[in-house]
Structure 1
Amino acid sequence: MSAVARTAGAEAPERSAREHKGGGLPGAVAAEWGKLWTIRTPYACLVASVVLMVVFAFYFGSIARINDEPVQPVGNAPVSAMVLVQFLVVVLAMTTVTSEYATGSIRSSLQWVPDRHRVQVAKALVTSAVACVAGILLGALGMAVAWPSFDGKATFEMSEAIVQLLSMGVYLALVAVLTVGLSFACRSAVGALSSLFFLLAGLPFILMGPGSEILLKINDGLPQSAGNHFMAGDTTPYSSVVGLLIVVAWATAAHLIGLTVLRRRDA
Structure 2
Amino acid sequence: MIDLLAAEWTKLWSLRSTRWLLGLGTLAIVTFAVQSSLEAYHGWPGFPAMEKARFSPLTEAFSGLSATMLMIGAGSLGALTIVGEYATGLIRTTLSAVPARHRVVAAKLAVVSGVMLATGALVSAATFGVSQAILSGRGVAVSLGDPGVLRVLAANALLAPVSGLVGMGVGALLRHTAAAVVAVCAVLVIVPTFFRPTVHQWLNDLYALVPFYVWRTCLGLPQLRDDPALPTVAGSWAVFALWPLAAAVLTLLVVRRRDV
Give TM-score, length-normalised by structure 1. 0.78
Taking every aligned residue pair, what percent have the same amino acid on both sides?
23
Alignment match, 1:45:
21
Alignment match, 2:189:
201
The root-mean-square deviation of aligned C-alpha atoms, in Å, is 2.7
Matched, 1:249 2:238: no
- Amino acid of the residue matched to residue 199 of structure 1? V
Candidates 132, 135, 138, aligned match of 1:152 = 138
In structure 2, the gaps of 5 or more residues are: none
Counterpart Cα distance in 2 of 1:199 and 1:249? 15
| Contact persistence 2:77–2:167 (CA under 8 A) | no
Q: Map of 1:1-267 to 2, 5 A cutoff?
A: 25-61=1-37, 62=39, 65=44, 68-69=51-52, 70-74=54-58, 77-78=61-62, 80=64, 81-147=66-132, 148=134, 152=138, 154-160=140-146, 161-208=149-196, 212-214=198-200, 215-228=203-216, 229-232=218-221, 235-236=224-225, 237-267=230-260
SS of 1:238 mapped into structure 2:
coil
Q: 1:33 to 1:233 in 2, by over 3 A?
A: farther
Counterpart Cα distance in 1 of 2:28 and 2:145? 25
Give TM-score, length-normalised by structure 2. 0.80
- Amino acid of the residue matched to residue 207 of structure 1? F
Counterpart Cα distance in 2 of 1:28 and 1:42? 19
SS of 2:145 mapped into structure 1:
helix
Larger radius of gyration: 1
Give CA deviations for 1:69-122 in whole Å, capped at 9, x if unaligned.
524343663253122222111222222111111111111111222222222221
Bigger relative contact order (CA 8 A; separation at least 6): 2
| Contact persistence 1:234–1:240 (CA under 8 A) | no
| Contact persistence 2:57–2:135 (CA under 8 A) | no
Counterpart Cα distance in 2 of 1:144 and 1:38? 31
Counterpart Cα distance in 1 of 2:232 and 2:145? 18
Q: 1:118 to 1:234 in 2, by over 3 A?
A: farther
Counterpart Cα distance in 1 of 2:223 and 2:238? 14
Of the structure 1 ranges 247-256 and 60-69, higher mean CA displacement relative to structure 2 is found in: 60-69
What is the count of residue pairs matched by the alignment?
A: 241
Q: CA shift at 1:38, angstroms? A: 2.2
Give CA deviations for 1:3-62 in whole Å, capped at 9, x if unaligned.
xxxxxxxxxxxxxxxxxxxxxx33221210121122322111122212321243235443
Give CA deviations for 1:159-185 in whole Å, capped at 9, x if unaligned.
354443333333311221211122111
Counterpart Cα distance in 2 of 1:71 and 1:220? 25
In structure 1, the gaps of 5 or more residues are: 1-24
| Contact persistence 1:223–1:247 (CA under 8 A) | yes
Give CA deviations for 1:122-167 in whole Å, capped at 9, x if unaligned.
1111111111111111112212332326863743122354443333
| Contact persistence 1:200–1:224 (CA under 8 A) | yes
